[in-house]
Amino acid sequence: MSSIIFVPNSGISNCLFKLKVIYCVGGVISPLLANIYLNVLDKVWKVKRVQERMEARLIRYADDFVVLCKGHTERILRGVQGVLGGLGLTLNEAKTRMLDVREESFSFLGFHLMVIKHPRTGRRFCLIRPAQKALA
């Protein structure tokens, strides 16, 4: 895939750059490219005020992200898919799932997260431990 980008006011007398995007999954530049691409998702999230309107928080590190929300799960998933689709990206269906964190746990960035009740107070809290895979 290649594209031509016009960069006005770049200090190099309005140059045209021809970019060729190559696959570099697992390479040292891969997280940088993910951050550049997915910055659009961050901006859309902020401009559309998704966190305030739908009580949904986006937690992202390079190309890995988790959305924490109290509802509107299908709508938020469709919105994320729409933004990613506009960038020519798709969610990995094998890694994408919706769950109720009060009933199921999940791993993210080498940590295992679960909501449990405190044995003395009975209040729920998020317990975060290193994931088994990270310990191996």
**pLDDT exceeds 70 at position 88:** yes
Q: Which residues contact 99 (CB under 8 A, 6 or more apart)?
A: 106
What are the tens digits of pLDDT across the range 89-121?
899 888 899 999 889 999 999 999 999 999 999
Per-residue model confidence (pLDDT) at position 28? 61
Question: Residue 55 region, left (φ>0) first, then alpha (ψ -120 to 50), else beta?
Answer: left
> pTM for the full model?
0.73
Per-residue 3-state assignment (H helix, E strand, C coil) for 31-44: HHHHHHHHHHHHHH
What are the tens digits of pLDDT across the range 20-54?
555 555 566 678 888 888 999 999 999 999 999 99
Higher model confidence: residue 58 or residue 12?
58
Per-residue model confidence (pLDDT) at position 25? 57
Rounded percentage of the chain residues whose pLDDT exceeds 70: 79
Q: What Å distances lie between residue 108 and 8, 43, 64, 113, 128, CA to CA? A: 39, 22, 8, 8, 10
